[in-house]
Amino acid sequence: MASIDAVESNQSGTTRRAESEAIYLAFGAGALGAIYGLIVALTAADLQFADGDPFAVWAAAGAGVTAAGASIAGYWRARSDPDQAWRRTLPSWKFTVNTISVVIVHTALAFLATFAMYRLLALGFIGLPIITFWAVVLMAVTLGMTAYIVYLSVSRMTTQRMSSLLMAFVVIGTLTAMITTSDPEWWQVHFSQLGTFDDLSSWVFNGTLIAGGLLVTTFAVYIANDLEVLTAEGVLTNPRGKQVVPALFVVMGIMLSCVGIFPVDVSLALHNTSASGMAVMFLVLLIAGPKLLRGMPRTYFVASAAFLAATVLSVILFIPAVGYFSLTAFEIIVFALIFGWIAVFIRFLGVTGQPALSRPGVTSRS
Pairing of strands 53-54, 47-48: parallel
Over 80: is that where the pLDDT of 6 sits? no
174 shares a domain with 137 = no
Residue type, 23: I
Predicted local distance difference test score (pLDDT) of residue 1: 40
SS3 track for 114-143: HHHHHHHHHHHCCCCECCHHHHHHHHHHHH
167 shares a domain with 315 = yes
> What separation in angstroms does the CA of 236 have from each of 117, 257, 353?
44, 30, 9
Residue type, 39: I
Q: In the chain, how many domains are there?
A: 2
115 shares a domain with 151 = yes
Smallest CA-to-CA distance from 264 within 187, 186, 193, 343 is with: 193
Average pLDDT over every residue of 163-172:
85
Predicted local distance difference test score (pLDDT) of residue 364: 43
The residue from 89, 123, 156 where one domain ends is 156
- Tell me the pLDDT of the chain averaged across its residues: 84
Task: Quickly state the pLDDT bin for 284 (edges 50, 70, 90).
Answer: very high
137 shares a domain with 276 = no
Predicted local distance difference test score (pLDDT) of residue 146: 96
Predicted local distance difference test score (pLDDT) of residue 147: 96
Most confident stretch, 37-46, 56-65, 352-361: 56-65
Average pLDDT over every residue of 104-124:
87
The residue from 126, 156, 186 where one domain ends is 156
> What separation in angstroms does the CA of 342 have from each of 46, 81, 134, 296?
46, 27, 43, 15
Predicted local distance difference test score (pLDDT) of residue 366: 46
Give the tens place of pLDDT for each residue, 285-311. Answer: 999 989 999 888 889 999 999 999 999
Give the tens place of pLDDT for each residue, 7-37. Answer: 344 455 567 888 899 999 999 999 999 999 9
115 shares a domain with 184 = no
Average pLDDT over every residue of 75-90:
81
Lowest mean pLDDT among 54-68, 179-193, 210-224: 179-193
Predicted local distance difference test score (pLDDT) of residue 356: 43
The range of the structural domain enclosing residue 266 comes to 158-366
Predicted local distance difference test score (pLDDT) of residue 355: 52
Predicted local distance difference test score (pLDDT) of residue 353: 62
Predicted local distance difference test score (pLDDT) of residue 2: 38
Tell how far CA 218 is from the center of its chain.
Answer: 10
Give the tens place of pLDDT for each residue, 326-349. Answer: 888 888 888 889 988 988 888 888
164 shares a domain with 144 = no
Over 90: is that where the pLDDT of 64 sits? yes
The residue among 356 and 318 whose pLDDT is bigger is: 318
222 shares a domain with 143 = no
163 shares a domain with 86 = no
The residue from 127, 156, 185 where one domain ends is 156
- Please name every residue paired with 54 in a beta bridge, in sequence order, or none if there are none: 48
Predicted local distance difference test score (pLDDT) of residue 169: 86
Predicted local distance difference test score (pLDDT) of residue 29: 96
141 shares a domain with 163 = no
Average pLDDT over every residue of 218-233:
87
Residue type, 360: P
Predicted local distance difference test score (pLDDT) of residue 95: 83
End-to-end CA, the chain: 19
Cβ neighbours of residue 249 closer than 8 Å, sequence gap 6 or more: 216, 217, 219, 220, 223, 281, 285
Give the tens place of pLDDT for each residue, 226-247. Answer: 898 888 888 888 889 889 999 9
344 shares a domain with 234 = yes
CB 248 within 8 A of CB 279: no
36 shares a domain with 49 = yes
Most confident stretch, 70-74, 159-163, 233-237: 70-74
> What separation in angstroms does the CA of 277 have from each of 119, 158, 218, 310?
38, 27, 18, 19
332 shares a domain with 227 = yes
| DSSP code, position 190 | -
